[in-house]
Amino acid sequence: MTIDRRHFIGGTLALGAAACIPPDQSPIGRLEAELRLIEGKSGGTLGVSLFNTVSGMTVGINADRRFGHASSFKFSLAALLLLRHAQGRIDADRRVMWTEADMLSHAPFTRERIATGATLRELARATQTTSDNPAANILLRQLGGPAGLTAFWRSIGDTVSRVDRFEPEMNIVPSSEFRDTTTPAAMARTVATIVYGDVLPAAERAELRQWMVETETGARRVRAGLPKGWVAGDKTGTSGLIGGTEYNYIDIGFAEGSEGEPPITFACYLRARQTEDEMLAAAEQVLAEVGRVIKEFAEPEKALPVIGKLY
């Protein structure tokens, strides 16, 4: 059988075009396709959920797959302390002490204050803004341990997220692990509930929000892809540094554009096999690309011509 060369080339081009065009041609469908393209270039598995806090609309990929928290759980831990303080169940301004036995790697605040101690509020701010590991463990013990934080999530409607261990063991979360995990869909909604809901009184909510904006570790992740002038805050996580071969790069938070645009919360998880030294810069770039999708998600009516350039 002889194949006409023109028919062969035409058919091949048609198949190639069909492979690039997402079956769902709606703005949301194209946003999902764009996230898939980002995942394809990432060298790993990307889990993303973006949540419109006004309409309740979501977009994401692998949004119901479980990923480890790494240090991103510290956002909820800080929220829990502020809630307990507002309820009169704990004094956030009570000073506590710790010893050398409590120290772990990455302790920029607790190492400096080991001789003087700090208030629980100071520890909460440090674990949120600098991701100080001993500060997180000290707080977690004060607030009922892993079970106490998991119970907090359940109390605000998050039936998925869980913490089972302390730092640093909680970072050992291969893809088969169930402990110390969440899903992008669950966490994007939890961030929305805490930052924009009535879980916290207004003063505590504003304090936590400011800590998120001041967080040092998120400047090169999702926030790096947002337009100038946007207000955003987040909590990052990086794990896999002890045991195993899987590494996780995480960013959860909120983003607010110009007046009239709805606030968006996000939860992003990238699982890769490369080591941190090999992958950190590339992972940050992947998460920054998600930041660019957030702007399009906040303006769905403008997304279609923008994303159309990719196909």
* Mean pLDDT score, 228-255: 88
Active-site annotation, residues: 71, 167
Would the pLDDT of 6 be above 70?
no
pLDDT at 1 over 50: no
pLDDT value, residue 269: 98
Token pair 């041609």: residue: 25
Is residue 163 a contact partner of residue 69, using CB atoms and an 8 Å limit? Answer: yes
Asked if 32 contacts 60 with a C-beta cutoff of 8 angstroms, the reply is yes
- Nearest-5° Cα angle at 191, 185 to 192: 90
- For the chain, give the percent of residues with pLDDT over 90: 77
Residue 300 has what pLDDT? Answer: 62
Distance of alpha carbon 185 from alpha carbon 51, whole angstroms: 8
Tokens at residue 25, please?
A: 């041609």
Domain 26-310 belongs to what topology? Beta-lactamase (3.40.710)
Q: What is the pLDDT of residue 241?
A: 57
Structure tokens at 34: 């764009």
What's the predicted TM-score (pTM) here? 0.89
More confident residue, 262 or 2: 262
pLDDT digits (tens, 9 = 90+) for 18-65: 344 556 678 899 999 999 999 999 989 999 999 999 999 999 999 999
- Burial (CB < 10 A; 0-12, 13-18, 19+), residue 128, is buried
Summarize pLDDT for 160-214 with one digit per residue, the tens: 999 999 999 999 998 889 999 999 999 999 999 999 999 999 999 999 999 999 9
Q: Is the pLDDT score of 302 beyond 80?
A: no
* pLDDT tens profile 126-158: 999 999 999 999 999 999 999 999 999 999 999
CA atoms within 13 A on the CB side of 286: 28
215 CA to centre of own chain: 13
Q: Please say if the pLDDT value at position 240 is more than 50.
A: yes
Q: If we measure between CA atoms, which residue out of 33, 31, 49, 39 comes closest to residue 184? A: 49
For residues 86, 87, 90, 91, the Cα torsion angle rounded to the nearest 10 degrees is: 30
Strands 264-272 and 45-52: antiparallel
What pLDDT digit, counting tens, does each position of 62-112 carry? 999 999 999 999 999 999 999 999 999 999 999 999 999 999 999 999 999
DSSP letter for each residue of 275-298: -HHHHHHHHHHHHHHHHHHHHHHH
Q: So what's the pLDDT on residue 275?
A: 64
**Average pLDDT of the chain, as a whole number:** 88
Taking 80 as the threshold, does the pLDDT of residue 301 lie above it?
no
Query: pLDDT tier at 276 (50, 70, 90 boundaries)?
Result: low
The per-residue pLDDT for 279 is 73
3-state SS, 236-271, equals EEEECCCCCCCEEEEEEEEEECCCCCCCEEEEEEEE
**Domain residue extents for the chain:** 26-310
Catalogue the E-assigned strands of 53-91.
Answer: 58-61, 67-68
Write 200-203 long-range contacts (CB < 8 A, 24+): 200/79, 200/82, 200/83, 200/86, 201/86, 203/86
